[in-house]
């Protein structure tokens, strides 16, 4: 017989009463777990949607000139004579601190070429990256280019030259096959011939150079401006700009929900602890007689406190576990209803460990005074309740 | 503090009560539960403390059991002034010297017979094997071996009383204090219980029984009568 046998006996043989004691903890922990799961799912959701928005960071060579265009309307200036970045150096982007938050890095070369004696914008891209980035690109015919000698035409270019898929096109004297034609996008690519990066660099005589890089990044913990700074540090010769609006407004709403969740969690946890305190206090009062017996047969004050706190510890573990399970169940049921097109992000085991630790801490804290009171009960007073 | 059950010869009396007074304060009025008591009890005596209800006999028992601080006076047990000890030391004293048998048994409802009997050993640091052996011995002695794994509410009143006795003697305390041990039992069962207490006394335990039932006197070697907070030996 050890003191813990008494605590175990009490908890295992009075399950109904113990479940009631655990209720406060279960309510508190499950609320926190539900809210955290919901924020997590929302962030994931946003992350996916942001990728569909396209690039949110743009890297271009530093230039002395100010841009003379707005909303796609050019009012002059030297657009195609810009300086270039080194393609080889681009690999350095993988060495920034938050490199895992970069989902797509799409370099491109821009220049003008001649088709049928007309000047046309040539855009060299890595098709794999570009197509992932520009989710709004849809081809009206053909397949996306697979080979070096295949190109894709913007809608405007195709109609001006009357070209269709699988036909040949002469670009600055070299022959290419039109693999696909894009639907109109309303953006610059309508007027461009789009080729594989390597082929375009050769045509323009700019091997190993790139004109700009579009980057799609998302970072839960860090603001996008932090990522921008990290990239700018690596590429001092480039100007790195964050296209803040989209990310900022989305992040702002998540942050608001996060602080809301945080506030609600604190209130619920407070109420939960109060419930634990009240029920523990009630339990101690109810066990006055029992505590009197313990004291009469030679238990010290500290022994009685140990029994109560040990029970609190066990209840904390049980409450934390139940709360975690319940919270996940609620989140699983609630998320598809509350957040459109979103699903439960899955069980987060580290959160489970934190839940149990938190429940144990709360339970112990809320039981400190009841345990102290139990230990200090006057045994003769306690026995008068006999 | 642990002592052997057999008394050493240089100590005159096991328990010495002198100038004892206990006043309960309730609002403006104070009630003298014990006015003035002086007596002693020797080692291996069987003493009944008799008196009508409200005479202060239960208070006296709780004071002798180191549970209730007297207003005045001294209680020496084995020459030890028990109210000069601090609360934790008194708890250790109770663990070493006293076995309580309470009115209406007072078993812990969520522990089995065996666990209830082992309860006083939870703070003695004895090994599990030794605890089991000691508990089984006393359960056998009170004749409950077959019911050792039942919960208290599955036992009859007489059986619960036996568990309470087994719990009181498991640590082999020199002094057994019983408060109306037969109050809730029929006369046959009450007689069995008194016989059991008598046999414990023969084994060397000092047994002190508080009762208002004159039939119990026959089992004891000596009776201390209590009336209006005073005693007559």
DSSP A55: -
B67–A379 CB contact, under 8 Å: yes
- The CA distance from A267 to the nearest CA of chain B, in Å, is 35
A9–B119 CB contact, under 8 Å: no
The predicted-structure confidence for A206-238, as pLDDT tens digits, reads as follows 888 888 888 887 655 556 778 888 888 888 888
At residue A190, does pLDDT exceed 60?
A: yes
DSSP A220: S
Residues 6+ apart with CB under 8 A from A94: A102
- pLDDT tier, B6 (very low <50, low <70, confident <90, very high otherwise): very low
At residue A54, does pLDDT exceed 70?
A: no
pLDDT value for A285: 87
Distance CA A161, CA B159 (A): 108
B100–A14 CB contact, under 8 Å: no
**Strand A102-115 to A118-125 pairing:** antiparallel
pLDDT value for B8: 47
Q: Which residue has the higher pLDDT, B184 or B138?
A: B138
At residue A203, does pLDDT exceed 60?
A: yes
**What would the two tokens of residue B184 be?**
């809730």
Question: Minimal CA–CA distance to A339: which of A254, A240, A225, A217?
Answer: A254
The predicted-structure confidence for A358-383, as pLDDT tens digits, reads as follows 999 999 999 999 999 998 888 887 77
The mean pLDDT of chain B is: 90
Enumerate chain B positions whose Cβ falls within 8 A of a Cβ in A. Answer: 62, 65, 67-69, 87-88, 91-96, 98, 100, 102-104, 106, 108, 110-111, 115, 118-123, 128, 131, 151, 167, 171
Of B87, B92, B110, the CB nearest to A13: B110
Alpha-helix residue ranges (DSSP H) falling in A54-85: none
B108–A379 CB contact, under 8 Å: no
Q: What Rg do the C-alpha atoms of chain B give, in angstroms?
A: 17
Mean pLDDT of A333-338: 84
**Given CB atoms, is A15 within the 8 Å cutoff of chain B?**
no
Contacts of A299 in chain B (CB under 8 A): 91, 95, 122-123
Q: What percentage of chain A carries pLDDT values higher than 90?
A: 23
This model's pTM is above 0.90: no
Least confident range from A75-79, A80-84, A133-137, A285-289: namely A75-79
- pLDDT tier, A386 (very low <50, low <70, confident <90, very high otherwise): very low
Distance CA A333, CA A32 (A): 15
A1–B167 CB contact, under 8 Å: no
At residue B12, does pLDDT exceed 80?
A: no
pLDDT value for B55: 86
Residues 6+ apart with CB under 8 A from B168: B99, B100, B101, B176, B178
Contacts of B115 in chain A (CB under 8 A): 1, 5, 9
CB A192 within 8 A of CB A125: no
pLDDT value for A102: 81
Say how far residue A25 (Cα) sits from the centre of its chain.
28
Q: Which domains does chain B have, with CATH numbers?
A: 15-232 (3.40.50.300)
A293–B122 CB contact, under 8 Å: no
- pLDDT tier, B208 (very low <50, low <70, confident <90, very high otherwise): very high
Residues 6+ apart with CB under 8 A from A372: A305
At residue A80, does pLDDT exceed 80?
A: no
Count other Cβ atoms within 10 Å, centred on residue A86.
Answer: 14
The predicted-structure confidence for B34-80, as pLDDT tens digits, reads as follows 999 999 999 999 999 999 888 888 889 999 999 999 999 999 999 99
Of the ranges A139-143, A145-149, B86-90, which is most confident? B86-90
Chain A interface, mutation test: which of B75, B110, B152, most A Cβ atoms within 10 Å? B110
Chain A interface, mutation test: which of B122, B125, B128, B184, most A Cβ atoms within 10 Å? B122
SS3 of chain B: CCCCCCCCCCCCCCEEEEEEEEEEEECCEEEEEEEEEEEEECCCCEEEEECCCCCCHHHHHHHHCCCCCCCEEEEEECCEEHHHCCHHHHHHHHHHHEEEECCCCCCCCCCCHHHHHHHHHHHCCCCHHHHHHHHHHHHHHCCCHHHCCCCHHHCCHHHHHHHHHHHHHCCCCCEEEEECCCCCCCHHHHHHHHHHHHHHHHCCCEEEEEECCHHHHHHCCEEEEEECCEEEC
């Amino acid at each position: 017989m050890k003191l813990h046998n008494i605590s175990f006996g009490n908890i295992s043989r009075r399950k109904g009463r113990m479940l009631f004691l655990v209720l406060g903890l279960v309510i508190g922990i499950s609320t926190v777990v539900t809210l955290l799961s919901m924020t997590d799912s929302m962030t994931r959701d946003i992350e996916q949607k942001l990728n569909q928005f396209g690039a949110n960071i743009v890297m271009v060579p530093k230039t002395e000139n100010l841009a003379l265009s707005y909303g796609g309307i050019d009012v002059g200036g030297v657009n195609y004579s810009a300086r270039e970045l080194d393609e080889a150096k681009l690999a350095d982007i993988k060495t920034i601190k938050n490199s895992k938050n970069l989902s797509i890095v799409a370099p491109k070369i821009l220049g003008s070429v001649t088709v049928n004696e007309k000047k046309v914008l040539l855009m060299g891209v890595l098709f794999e990256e570009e197509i992932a980035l520009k989710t709004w690109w849809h081809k009206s015919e053909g397949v996306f280019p697979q080979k070096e000698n295949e190109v894709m035409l913007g809608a405007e270019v195709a109609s001006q030259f009357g070209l269709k898929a699988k036909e040949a096109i002469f670009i600055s004297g070299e022959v290419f096959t039109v693999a696909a034609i894009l639907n109109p996008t309303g953006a610059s690519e309508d007027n461009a011939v789009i080729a594989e990066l390597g082929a375009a660099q050769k045509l323009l005589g700019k091997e190993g150079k790139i004109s700009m890089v579009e980057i799609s990044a998302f970072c839960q913990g860090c603001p996008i401006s932090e990522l921008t700074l990290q990239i700018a540090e690596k590429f001092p010769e480039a100007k790195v700009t964050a296209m803040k609006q989209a990310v900022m407004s989305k992040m702002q709403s998540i942050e608001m929900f996060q602080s809301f969740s945080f506030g609600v969690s604190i209130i619920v946890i407070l109420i939960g602890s109060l419930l634990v305190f009240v029920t523990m206090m009630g339990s101690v009062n109810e066990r006055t007689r029992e505590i009197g017996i313990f004291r009469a047969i030679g238990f010290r004050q500290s022994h009685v406190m140990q029994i109560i706190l040990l029970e609190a510890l066990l209840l904390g573990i049980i409450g934390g576990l139940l709360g975690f399970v319940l919270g996940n169940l609620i989140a699983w049921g609630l998320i598809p209803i509350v957040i459109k097109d979103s699903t439960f992000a899955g069980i987060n085991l580290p959160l489970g460990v934190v839940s149990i630790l938190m429940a144990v801490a709360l339970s112990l804290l809320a039981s400190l005074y009841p345990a102290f009171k139990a230990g200090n009960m006057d045994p003769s007073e306690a026995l008068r309740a006999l | 503090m642990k002592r052997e059950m057999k008394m050493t010869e240089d100590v005159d009396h096991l328990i010495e009560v002198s100038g004892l007074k206990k006043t309960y304060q309730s609002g403006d009025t104070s009630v003298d539960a014990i006015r003035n008591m002086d007596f002693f009890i020797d080692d291996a005596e069987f003493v009944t403390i008799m008196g009508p209800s409200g005479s202060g006999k239960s208070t006296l028992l709780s004071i002798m059991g180191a549970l209730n601080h007297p207003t005045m006076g001294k209680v020496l047990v084995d020459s030890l002034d028990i109210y000069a000890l601090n609360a934790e030391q008194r708890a250790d004293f109770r663990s070493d010297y006293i076995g309580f048998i309470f009115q209406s048994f007072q078993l812990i409802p969520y522990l089995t017979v065996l666990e209830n009997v082992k309860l006083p050993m939870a703070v003695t640091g004895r090994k599990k094997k030794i605890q089991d052996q000691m508990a089984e011995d006393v359960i056998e002695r009170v004749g409950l071996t077959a019911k050792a794994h039942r919960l208290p509410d599955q036992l009859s009143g007489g059986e619960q009383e036996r568990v309470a006795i087994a719990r009181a003697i498991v640590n082999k305390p020199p002094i057994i204090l019983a408060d109306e041990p037969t109050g809730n039992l029929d006369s046959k069962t009450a007689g069995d219980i008194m016989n059991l207490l008598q046999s414990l006394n023969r084994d060397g335990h000092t047994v002190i029984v508080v009762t208002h039932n004159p039939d119990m006197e026959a089992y004891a070697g000596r009776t201390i009568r209590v009336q209006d907070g005073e005693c007559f030996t």
